[in-house]
Structure 1
Amino acid sequence: MGASVAGADPEGLAATSPRSAGVLGHPVAHSLSPVLHGAAYRALGLDGWTYERIDCDADQLPSLVDSSPSHRVGYSVTMPGKFAALGYATEVSDRARIVGSANTLVRRGNGWFADCTDVDGVTGALAEFDDLPAEPTAVVLGVGGTARPVLAGLAEAGATRVVLASRRDNAGPAADCGRALGLEIHTMLLTDESLPGEISRSDILVNTVPEPGVEDLTGLVARANRLFDVLYDPWPTAAGSAATGAGIPVVGGDVMLLHQAFGQVELFTGRPAPREAMSTALASALGR
């Protein structure tokens, strides 16, 4: 399910011809994608390549991509445009179709290919736990848009059973996605008395609830065996602090951000991502 290295430059012109890419989102000024992609292009010797932030909401996305200059090879897409990007594309990866959103658009001929490299971000984050079982069980806090690529990443990492916990009885779309991925899905409310036990018995807890909403869930976090928090800035997050204080291994969303960018770079350039250079650039940007 991972991103193919066959990208937007099949003729090998990247080193000699100027190309450009960008990140679409609203707001977008905070995006660290230019840091990651800029570092990648420099490390790959793509001196003519540029990458920019473009403020664009979901309604504006189709017309903006329609008017893309000829040198534009692709876009990273952040919220609120991920669903619009999937709907706009002329070709869609299997995983983006199942997840129901796309964070990547790549020019292919006269059309655009949509993929969800957020899944690569999740699998990269899970791989940081070197003692994670081959078939991990998981509890996911939150059932919003991020929960679905998390489910796809868990499935790719070998998970079979996942509990989805939400504040309201609205887990249906995420649960359907998980079942389409072959996962055994159970749903419950965050207030369910059995949830702390589920977390204690599970191999990993994944937090997708944004702050400040997660601040009243730190008691649940303290029951985890491992925590993957999709949030990363500012760090430590409320969940990350609770886990660290309880001696629980923690991986933050910066790892997910980094690994999803690896896939995008490979799709845009057709070359293996320079992982060390990108990792160093991200750590510097985050002051870590």
Structure 2
Amino acid sequence: MTHAHRAAVLGSPIAHSLSPVLHRAAYAEFGLTDWTYDRFEIDEHALPGFIEGLDSSWAGLSLTMPLKRVIIPLLDSVSETASSVEAVNTVVFTRDGRRVGDNTDIPGMIAALRERGVDKVESAAVLGAGATASSALAALAVICTGAVTAYVRSQERGDEMRGWGERLGVDVRISDWAEAKQALHAPLVIATTPAGATDALAGAVPDAPGTLFDVLYEPWPTALAAAWAARNGAVVGGLDLLVHQAVLQVEQMTGRSPAPLAAMRKAGEEALAAR
């Protein structure tokens, strides 16, 4: 017997994705016994064929790297939020068969920060300039009233970040990665870099740091996050972001609200602890 409602996360690599754990925890809380959520190893080349092969049992998809941009031409409509950063991490299939794209990373970041009492900051720093950094700028467009300094490794990356800032209405200043220790004095620091990239900064955390938002969740804590917490700075982690963006995905895909944030976070923490 086929299940009535299907959802999944797509990406490459995908084996370590926590999304199935989070979404299944929500289904259990809601009593949605006829819903399934899986993961599929799908790259850019396989994506169109996969999408075309889906039947009416599919409710939605979560998308991770490298699919957040290449999915856009395959959709019928894209939300203003997703358009603002040209990145879709959520697809909902409507009852009339339309494919609707959204980005829950941006409101997920804002919700994760607000959960820790960060509603507004006068300035901020962003470490890195990849896809997550553009989502960080979109979140900062909402909560940062002043300039954002981006610390990048190349002029090309700097130009990209400046371009995103102009598009999003954020005053972006560019600094070289060699000066990244200066970032740690900002009231809000968002680290969007790969594992290990900020380890060398751990020894430069100031005595009274502000808030660090490190988007990694494995390995956790990062050296920077551990040093930050040791100096009594507020730390928001990648699991916080993952859970908050997944909450919004569950609500969109199932049509039920509010999604069970606490149960989803607990499931994520237990899954990470078991690794």
SS at match of 2:36: strand
Q: Which structure 2 segments of 5+ residues have no match? A: none
Q: CA deviation at 1:159?
A: 3.9
SS at match of 1:101: coil
Whether 1:206 and 2:193 are equivalent positions in the alignment is no
TM-score (norm 2): 0.90
- In 2, the alpha carbon distance for the partners of 1:206 and 1:221 equals 14
Instruction: Please identify which structure carries the higher helix content.
Output: 2
Contact 1:105 1:115 in 2 (8 A): yes
Contact 1:133 1:203 in 2 (8 A): no
Deviates more, 1:179-188 or 1:240-249: 240-249
Q: CA deviation at 1:175?
A: 2.4
- In 1, the alpha carbon distance for the partners of 2:109 and 2:246 equals 12
- In 1, the alpha carbon distance for the partners of 2:272 and 2:69 equals 28
Of the three residues 235, 241, 248, the one matched with 1:263 is 248
Partner of 1:10: none
Whether 1:123 and 2:110 are equivalent positions in the alignment is yes
Partner of 1:287: 273
Deviates more, 1:24-33 or 1:274-283: 274-283
SS at match of 2:175: strand
- In 1, the alpha carbon distance for the partners of 2:173 and 2:81 equals 21
Partner of 2:178: 191
CA offsets 1:89-120 (integer angstroms, 9 cap, x no match): 22011111111111111113333111110112
Contact 1:151 1:178 in 2 (8 A): yes
Within 5 Å, which residues of 2 pair with 1:77-116? Answer: 77-108=63-94, 109-116=96-103
Of the three residues 46, 54, 59, the one matched with 1:68 is 54
Contact 1:138 1:203 in 2 (8 A): yes
Whether 1:139 and 2:125 are equivalent positions in the alignment is yes
Percent identity, aligned pairs only? 38
Aligned residues: 268
Within 5 Å, which residues of 2 pair with 1:184-263? Answer: 184-192=171-179, 196-197=181-182, 199-200=184-185, 202-222=186-206, 224-263=209-248
Q: 1:204 to 1:158 in 2, by over 3 A?
A: closer
**Which amino acid counterpart does residue 168 of structure 1 have in structure 2?**
S
- In 2, the alpha carbon distance for the partners of 1:220 and 1:177 equals 28
Aligned-residue CA RMSD (Å): 1.9
Q: CA deviation at 1:87?
A: 3.0
TM-score (norm 1): 0.87
Contact 1:126 1:157 in 2 (8 A): no
Whether 1:275 and 2:223 are equivalent positions in the alignment is no
Deviates more, 1:22-31 or 1:267-276: 267-276
Partner of 1:9: none
- In 2, the alpha carbon distance for the partners of 1:114 and 1:221 equals 39
Q: Which structure 1 segments of 5+ residues have no match? A: 1-16
Q: 1:84 to 1:222 in 2, by over 3 A?
A: farther
**Which amino acid counterpart does residue 173 of structure 2 have in structure 1?**
H
CA offsets 1:5-32 (integer angstroms, 9 cap, x no match): xxxxxxxxxxxx8100000011111011
SS at match of 1:227: strand
Of the three residues 40, 45, 70, the one matched with 2:31 is 45
Q: CA deviation at 1:197?
A: 4.4
SS at match of 2:115: coil
- In 2, the alpha carbon distance for the partners of 1:33 and 1:175 equals 32
Contact 1:211 1:238 in 2 (8 A): no
Q: CA deviation at 1:67?
A: 0.7
- In 2, the alpha carbon distance for the partners of 1:43 and 1:235 equals 27
Deviates more, 1:270-279 or 1:71-80: 270-279
**Which amino acid counterpart does residue 238 of structure 2 have in structure 1?**
G
- In 1, the alpha carbon distance for the partners of 2:204 and 2:135 equals 22
